Structure 1
Amino acid sequence: MISKLPKWVEYGTFFLALLAGITNSVGLLGFQHQSISHLSGTATLLGTQLLGFNDTTWHLLFIIISFILGSSLSSLIVGCSALKLGRRYNFALIIESGLLFAAMIVLNEGSQWGHYFASAACGLQNGLVTTYSGAVVRTTHVTGVLTDLGIMLGMKLKGEPIHHRRLALYLYIAFGFIFGGTIGGYFYPILEINTLAIPATLCALLAMSYSIYLYQHKEI
């Protein structure tokens, strides 16, 4: 049940959403002003380009393919999408960290391959945990989270009961993503593309923290 949600899950989703918010802010401020942690806008842009197929069309298509490949990699590493302590989230997070560092290095060299590495990293993260006790968990965008929060608000106004732990989980994700955007907005004018080092480092630290948690709970 969602009421039995361990606190490490809430903290973990907050930090995942935070690093996604930072990554996406870099995309909006520097990657041709495109979102990279979610693909709704990219898919729309791709649709507008299909009638006049050109290099931009291929670029948008490769961003989408990279995101899908990242999600597939997550499935190969972690397995089932339902959250469970003991799965290899640490290994997946290390790969995500490596992809973000690679994106930073390649983008600094002027190559568009950095966009694809960053998109794959976001796809990998989004595929890590998709459900927990009936709650949909997406940490790279907040459209669904804000929709669910709106539904909960409507239920509360009608006097219906709401799941407080689920509410807390969604609030952690929403505030984490927004706060990540704030961090990215602050550091991008200073570090530019190198701002990606922040979410990449957070990914590695989160992987380390999860590994330590597993060790302490004899779950490795």
Structure 2
Amino acid sequence: MISKLPRWLELGAFILAAIAGCVNAVGLLGFEHQSVSHLSGTASLLGASMFNASWVSVFHFAGILLSFFVGAALSGLLLHGSALKLGRHYDTALLIESVLLLSACYALTKGQFYGHYLASAACGLQNSMATTYSGAVVRTTHVTGLFTDLGIMLGASLRGEAFDKRKAVLFLIIIIGFILGGTLGAFLFKAVSFLALIVPAGACVVLAVAYRVYTSRVRRCT
């Protein structure tokens, strides 16, 4: 159950959601108005491009889908098991995400299209970091599933089932984090264009260091 998960989960999920929201806002404003933190829209654009025989777009959208997949696979390689547990290589994954975002920033400021792929891989890696554990499905790079789950929970409660308040709060925290991250991303993109990606990249580094310090302190106390 969600009640068995550590209390730091909410803070970490909020920061990760804000990072993804910021990156996605930069994508929507600068990557030809295309999202990179989730793939539903990209998959639809891929299908439309195939119908219109726009093969340059087909390969581009397919590359974004593949990049997200590769990022998720990299996370699966680093992190073992489905339970949230201190000591796992979340900090390593976050540092790799930071490198991918900084590389995307460099490529995009130089006008190189492969920056889109690097940003998509970063989001795929992050989305794979938080998965299904202890009855809580947590996704930090999109909010469609969260709204769906909240609707299901509300409907079930109206039917008389117990309402998991902590799970609902966690989902709301992620949604708010994603929206605020989008606001920050829009502000930064207007001010510094693709250099805005430096901020979420830096946030990944800060989160990785905080996780490593916290893990070390817990180990010394046990």
Same fold (TM over 0.5): yes
Distance 1:174 1:76 in 2: 27
Matched, 1:166 2:175: no
Say whether the 8 Å CA contact 1:82–1:129 is kept in structure 2: no
| Structure 1 partner of 2:6 | 6
* SS of corresponding position for 2:185: helix
Say whether the 8 Å CA contact 2:18–2:177 is kept in structure 1: yes
Say whether the 8 Å CA contact 1:94–1:207 is kept in structure 2: yes
Q: How does 1:29-108 map to 2 (within 5 A)?
A: 29-51=29-51, 52-108=53-109
Kindly tell me the number of residue pairs found equivalent between the two proteins: 219
Say whether the 8 Å CA contact 2:5–2:84 is kept in structure 1: no
Q: How does 1:178-217 map to 2 (within 5 A)?
A: 178-217=179-218
| Structure 1 partner of 2:19 | 19
* SS of corresponding position for 2:219: coil
Distance 1:132 1:176 in 2: 21
Q: Which amino acid aligns with 2:82?
A: S
* SS of corresponding position for 1:217: helix
Q: Alpha-carbon deviation of 1:5?
A: 2.0
| Structure 2 partner of 1:110 | 111
Say whether the 8 Å CA contact 2:71–2:122 is kept in structure 1: yes
Q: TM-score, normalised by structure 1?
A: 0.96
Q: Alpha-carbon deviation of 1:150?
A: 1.4
Q: Alpha-carbon deviation of 1:169?
A: 1.2
- Give structure 1 stretches of 5+ with no counterpart: none
Distance 1:123 1:205 in 2: 20
Distance 1:132 1:168 in 2: 17
Say whether the 8 Å CA contact 1:26–1:184 is kept in structure 2: yes
Distance 1:84 1:131 in 2: 13
Q: Alpha-carbon deviation of 1:53?
A: 4.5
Which 10-residue stretch deviates more, 5-14 or 16-25?
5-14
Q: Which amino acid aligns with 1:185?
A: A
Q: Which amino acid aligns with 2:135?
A: G
Q: Alpha-carbon deviation of 1:132?
A: 2.3
Q: How does 1:135-154 map to 2 (within 5 A)?
A: 135-154=136-155
Q: TM-score, normalised by structure 2?
A: 0.95
Say whether the 8 Å CA contact 1:81–1:127 is kept in structure 2: no
Distance 1:93 1:25 in 2: 20
